Amino acid sequence: MEQSLELVSFKTCPFVQRSVITLAYKDIPFKVTYIDLANPPDWFSAISPLGKVPVLKVGNETLFESAVINEYIDDISGGQLQSETPLEKAKDRAWIEVASSMLGNDYYLKVAIDKAAYEQHRDALALQFHRLEAHLGEGPWFNGSEFSLVDTAFAPLFTHQNIANARYSVIDPTTMPKVVDWSERLLSLPCVQESTVTEFGSVYLSDLEEYGSYGLQA
């Protein structure tokens, strides 16, 4: 790798986790710089047009948006995590967007401070998981035998579903057996297990307590 790669993140961001997983899976050297997104350094505004993470610094250039970053990572290292045909690649991109939507509902479920908001996002996320269950094949990965960027996009969702001893999980093993099998397979991968900071669970739980999360009280 001719140019150094540096991810800019905050410690509990699932979208950055996607890129960490992809980089680690492909055994590409990189470093991570953590910032406080509520009080970002001045240099961050200059490299992140949306004011969000992840940002990938490639030498003197920068990329933003996790799906774009992951495609770039795959492109510079052989491209084997993307489907070969335009239609299949487009379908994968669409499911990556579904994963992003599910991460959004997972987040709003956790930070909801009242029952109504909590149940709204819980029900929306559960419906999405049922749709995912209906789509999944026999595995072992999203696209069958081939591990892909869709897998790296969904893996953080399963990590975040386990927060606070899975108190917020909406995954039902009796009605979502394929989701359960896939999630367990993803969570067993070293690149997923090592994709968060050591104190990930405690930092996240502390944040939820500060929010006054309804899910911790219910």
| Pairwise CA distance, residues 143 & 150, whole Å | 8
Residue 73's Cβ-count burial label (10 Å; 0-12, 13-18, 19+) is buried
Quote the pLDDT of residue 8.
97
Joined together, the tokens standing for residue 188 give 């067993």
pLDDT digits (tens, 9 = 90+) for 123-144: 999 999 999 999 999 999 999 9
pTM assigned to the model: 0.96
What parts of the chain have a pLDDT lower than 70?
Answer: 1-2
Quote the pLDDT of residue 165.
87
Domains and their CATH numbers in the chain: 5-75 (3.40.30.10), 86-217 (1.20.1050.10)
143 - beta bridge partners?
A: 146
Q: Check the CA dihedral 200-203-206-212 and report its sign.
A: negative
